[in-house]
Amino acid sequence: MIDEIVIDARYAITLCEPTKTLGRIPNLVLNEIKFTKENERVLAVIAHYPTRVSLVNDLVHHRIYRSGINSISALVEETKRLAELCEKGFKDFHSPNLLPK
């Protein structure tokens, strides 16, 4: 089991479990992987998502925006690739029962 899903060595999906203080349901978190000057890996939060679909949608948007894809067929292929990576990652996640649908 894994505790984060890494996509293209640039993004990491993590789970923010519910807390009494915040009183929220588990959220999926999309993070960008960055490195400090000392070459320490840090996760910079992009956003929290209530569902898997909303996270994957935003991940696709971020990836497409940065990639320079300029054809519909390439857009379809990249969307499919990212969705499949996420789907596989969600199956291997450390707490699949806590994941929002």
The verdict on residue 82 lying in a domain is yes
The verdict on residue 65 lying in a domain is yes
Element (H, E) at 16: strand 11-16
* pTM listed for this prediction: 0.81
* Span 52-65, pLDDT tens digits: 999 999 999 999 98
The verdict on residue 98 lying in a domain is no
The verdict on residue 63 lying in a domain is yes
The verdict on residue 36 lying in a domain is yes
* Span 29-80, pLDDT tens digits: 999 999 999 999 999 999 988 889 999 999 999 999 888 898 999 999 999 9
Report the domain count for the chain.
Answer: 1
The verdict on residue 101 lying in a domain is no
Domain that holds residue 84: 5-92
CB-based contacts of 13, cutoff 8 Å, min separation 6: 4, 5, 7, 28, 29, 30, 31, 55, 59, 86, 89
The verdict on residue 54 lying in a domain is yes
